[in-house]
Amino acid sequence: MKIDIYHSSAFMNNNFIAKIQNLTLDFKGKTLFKDLNFDILENTSSALLGSSGVGKSTLLRCIADLEKENITNGEIVLKKDTNIAWLSQENSLYPWLSILDNVQLYHHLKGTKTNKTLQKAKELLSQVNMSEHYDKKTYELSGGQKQRVALARTLMQDANLILMDEPFSALDAITKIQLQDLTCNLLKNKTVVLVTHDPQEAIKLANHIYILKNQPVTIEEVAFLEGTIPHKLSNEKLWNLQEELISELKGNDI
């Protein structure tokens, strides 16, 4: 049976924006997921930790309906009126487009650009501190600036479920901190699922922290963190949690 991804008008629990139910996926002759179940809570941030190749990004792709050919069973139920946007490490900016058109990419491809979409793109670029770079080519931007443009493009989609696949991993330490804080501020009313290899980043940016391990994959919630994101890492309990996560990940060959 092929996977059925749909928007349910009679959602089981209003606290959930997505439910992955009994998901089975085969990849290159191996069963990556078998009867996997995973719930995504609305208006929270979830971080997925695990070793390279365990299936974190593939799980994001399943939620985004990009793995149909590999899925053999199960279903993903999305709450009615859920729209998905993707923010990845590879900013995927088009070098032949202006920065403004990169932010308006959906409307550019659909031929629906208007003065209204242009003004919105400018407003979003202002929010990510890129107003002074409208006229630059993408190759003239630093890695951090490109990610700011990619963040503005994500916000342009008005999505309420944001999938982030290691969007900060290629940045230098200071730029990473700046972009993490900015992203938290601009996505504070969204549901976010973040793939990361960094336990500190997971603690800083997430309410729910999960570890993926084994083949087929199992998912274990290892921490629930209340409070406003980004969390302050000066908290002693969070430092202790970081050490516990590192120890757990070492045991899973991260």
pLDDT tens-digit map of 180-192: 999 999 998 899 9
Q: How high is the pLDDT of residue 137? A: 87
Q: How high is the pLDDT of residue 253? A: 54
Confidence band for 37, pLDDT divided at 50, 70 and 90? very high
b/e burial code for range 96-128 (CB count within 10 A of at least 16 → b): eebbbbbbbbebbeeeebeeebeebbbebbebb
Q: How high is the pLDDT of residue 134? A: 84
Output the six-digit token pair for 254.
Answer: 């991260």
Query: Cis link prior to 199 (omega < 30° from 0)?
Result: no
Q: Is 154 a domain residue?
A: no
Q: Is 95 a domain residue?
A: no
Q: Name which of 48-57, 123-132, 242-251 the model is least confident about.
A: 242-251
- Categorise residue 81: left if φ over 0, alpha if ψ from -120 to 50, beta otherwise: left
Q: Is 176 a domain residue?
A: no
pLDDT at 11 over 50: no
- DSSP at 96: T
Strands (E), the chain: 4-8, 16-27, 30-41, 45-50, 71-79, 84-88, 161-165, 191-195, 208-213, 218-224
Q: How high is the pLDDT of residue 61? A: 94
The structure's pTM equals: 0.89
pLDDT tens-digit map of 54-80: 999 999 999 999 998 899 999 999 999
Q: Is 136 a domain residue?
A: no
Q: Is 134 a domain residue?
A: no
Q: How high is the pLDDT of residue 230? A: 93
Q: Is 206 a domain residue?
A: yes
**Average pLDDT, integer, range 26-47:** 93
**Average pLDDT, integer, range 2-11:** 43
Q: Is 17 a domain residue?
A: yes
Q: 177: Cβ–Cβ under 8 A, 6 or more apart, which residues?
A: none
Q: How high is the pLDDT of residue 252? A: 60
Q: Please work out, in degrees rounded to the nearest 5, the angle formed at the alpha carbon of residue 64 by the alpha carbons of 20 and 204.
A: 80
pLDDT at 6 over 50: no
Q: How high is the pLDDT of residue 58? A: 95
CATH number of the structural domain spanning residue 216 = 3.40.50
Q: Is 208 a domain residue?
A: yes
Domains identified in the chain, total number: 1
Please say whether the beta carbons of 9 and 80 come within 8 A.
yes
Domain coverage including residue 69: 1-83+200-254
